[in-house]
Each structure stands twice: as C-alpha cells, then as structure tokens.
Amino acid sequence: MRDGKLVVGIIGCGAFAWAQDFRNFANNPHCISKYCCDLSLERAQAAAEHFNVPHPTNNMYDLINDPEVDLIKISTSHEAHLPIIEAAAAKGKHIFCEKPMALKEMEAMAIIRAVRKHKVKLCVDMNRRMAPSMQALRQVWLQQRHNPKHQPWRFVELQRKQLAEEKQSNFLMSIQDESSSYRPVHLDPFHGGGEILGESTHWLDLACWMYAPQKPVEILAWGSPRLSHGIHLKFEQGDSATIVFSCTGTFDFPKEAFQMSVNASLLCNNFFVENKYYGIPGVKDEVFPLQVDDLPEIGPEGGFEAFLAKSKAQREGCDNLKHAKKQLLVDKGHSNMLNGFVDAILHDKPSPCDEIAGWTAVYLALLAIQSIELRQTMPVLAHKLEPCLHI
C-alpha cells in the first residue's frame, strides 16, 4: 500500500492492456500503477511511456518480489496464467486475471489451491456480468420471474394450467465476429485453446451468473471447438441458455446481442448500449453510455441506432479499425469488474468473479468441446463444480 492505495503491477502489455488495463487502473482513485511487464522490454517501455507508469520490465519477478506491490494484473496468453498466479500468490499478492482462468482442469485446480493456500483474492475478468446493461437486464428478469406482469392484450390460456416449460426462462446469446479477430495464438492448443475456451467462457459465465444460485446440469454443443459453434446449457430448474457463435460475420455490425424470454415477456440487450423490454407494462427501455466515445457529437441520444451511426463514422476512410483515429468502446463491464475487485480487497469482501466462477466457466467449456467431439449431451457433474482440495 502507498498512501492508502493499492500498488499495482501489470503483466502483459498487449492490445487489451492498452485498451482496458492501464486506462482503468489510472481511473481508479484507490490504485497506483508501479510496473508494466512484458516479455518484450520494448513493448513494456512503450506502455510505460504512454501511460506514465514508472517501472517497465521484462522480468515478472521484479514486481512479484516487490513488497510494496499489492495487486497483480495478468493479461498474458492463457497458458502463462498458472505459473504467474502461483508465484504471485506465494508472495501474498492479490490477482486479477484475464479469462479463461486456465486451459485444463488440473491447471484450474492448482490455481484454486494456490490462492486458497496463501489466502489471497483472485478475480477472473469475465466482465459481461458486470456490464451496467446486463446488471439492469437481470434485475428486470428477476422481477418478471417472481412477480410477472402482462400487457392487457396478451393471450392467456384458460383451458389448461400453465405447463412446466412455460414457467422456464430462455437466454439466447448471439455472437457474430470476423475470423480475422483470432490470430494463430488464439487457436493454438498450447496457448489459446480455441474460441470455446478463449471466448465462450465469457457467455458461459454470464449464463451461470444470470441464473445463480441455480447450477448447470447438462450441456450440448455442436460445430467447431476452435471457431464457429453453438452451446446449449440447461439449469436445475429447467431454465436454459443458448450461445450461437459465428466467426463468419462482419465488423460492420456489433458483435453481441442477447434475448431473455420469461413469463410472456422478451428482454433484449443490444450490444450493451440499450435494453428494450417487451410484454411488461410500465417498464421503460434503457440506454447506457459508452465506456469510451470519441464521437459524442454523433447520436448524442444514445442507444443502438446511435452506436451504429458512430461506428459508421469511425470506419470512414479507415482501412483497419486497429488504426482508427477515433475510439469507441461500449461498456462491457471491465472497469466495473476492476472497481469491484479493488473494493473487495480493501474491505475484505468476496471477489466479484472468484476462482470457483473462473473454474466453472473453464469446466463448462471443456465439456462443450467433449460434447462436440463425442456428438452427445454431457452431464455437468455436481462434484466438479465444488472441488475438494487439501490445502
């Protein structure tokens, strides 16, 4: 600690760290970034200069062994998480780790054991659960789930009682992306593990968070474990979540859309910038600000159509979005996750996405891969969700 603030070291200075980590730590009043570390010293030095971080290094032990450092942020390739976490936990550092937490079951078990043995907090950055629009959507879903309201023109079946299936919720997650998003490192089984592990852990976690405290009970998947695929996840009370992930889409349109149907209503989240609610009297649509908006003069009213207009303007005269002069970032919950974790450390609260949540998403992703390979539905085993480790 320094002056009551957490001292931070960031490991991994790639594009994600530039877009989120350095910005979000700088914006948190309870954090001081002391180190940026990367295997490439040149990359670490560039980040240090750009974000005014005093100590660039290519040796992670510089920050792990520094007694002043309280919190380590890991933004490396996936296979590097375990050795960093074990080393940092042994020195009493709290750990904020990018998803997926691990690539294999035994890696995840070793991570759980390390953080529990050394009594440090771990947060896995499965940020969608912390997006303001998703938090709002879940609140409306809970209200409609437990105290349903209906429009007066709704057809009501009077000839029979409501059937069991009609009492269940369905959560549809549609993801379209261009395959050029995924460099070979993402698809390499040693480094990235493919897009079910690398990306769909986000939406598997989102489903588990949405339906908590229900537990998932079975999973069925189809397609390719490394690129386009679908996953259907069923929960204890019959609720379900379906992920449809396509890598043959286009950057001309936003990546993610979500629909929740429950008790004769439809709740829609359009790429984190608006929620639209159908079938519930008195519930108003909601608009959410962007995390970064370099085009505030376009579509100041906000919402999905405004975001499309901003995106079109951003792309004009641009042959590569990575080099766009204007930045647009919707609020997917990254800063909220960091802020929630910092608060958990300072006030000894539970992590907003702890090691068990991190493991659950990995476990479900591994089961989905098995389901594709075996062409069958896989049971989600209760004892796997609550590992018993001798510390």
3-state class (DSSP) for residue 11: strand
d(CA 195, CA 200): 6
3-state class (DSSP) for residue 259: strand
Full set of structural domains in the chain with CATH: 129-150+163-332 (3.30.360.10)
Model-level pTM? 0.96
- CA distances to 18, 251, 256, 322, 388 from 179, in Å: 22, 10, 15, 15, 39
* Residue recorded with tokens 């600000």: 289
Residue 288 is predicted with a pLDDT of: 98
Residue 334 is predicted with a pLDDT of: 98
- CA distances to 168, 213, 214, 348 from 237, in Å: 8, 11, 7, 33
pLDDT along the chain (391 residues), means of 10: 95 96 97 98 98 98 98 96 98 98 97 98 98 98 95 73 90 94 84 92 98 98 96 97 96 96 96 97 97 97 97 86 84 98 98 98 98 98 94 88
C-beta neighbour count of 374 within 10 angstroms: 10
DSSP designation for 99: S
Q: What residue type is assigned to position 115 of the chain?
A: V
Q: Is 281 exposed, middle or buried (0-12, 13-18, 19+ CB in 10 A)?
A: exposed
Q: Which residues contact 367 (CB under 8 A, 6 or more apart)?
A: 219, 221, 378, 380
3-state class (DSSP) for residue 66: coil
* Residue recorded with tokens 């907003």: 352
Residue 158 is predicted with a pLDDT of: 65
For residue 130, which phi and psi values (nearest 5 degrees)? Answer: -105, 5
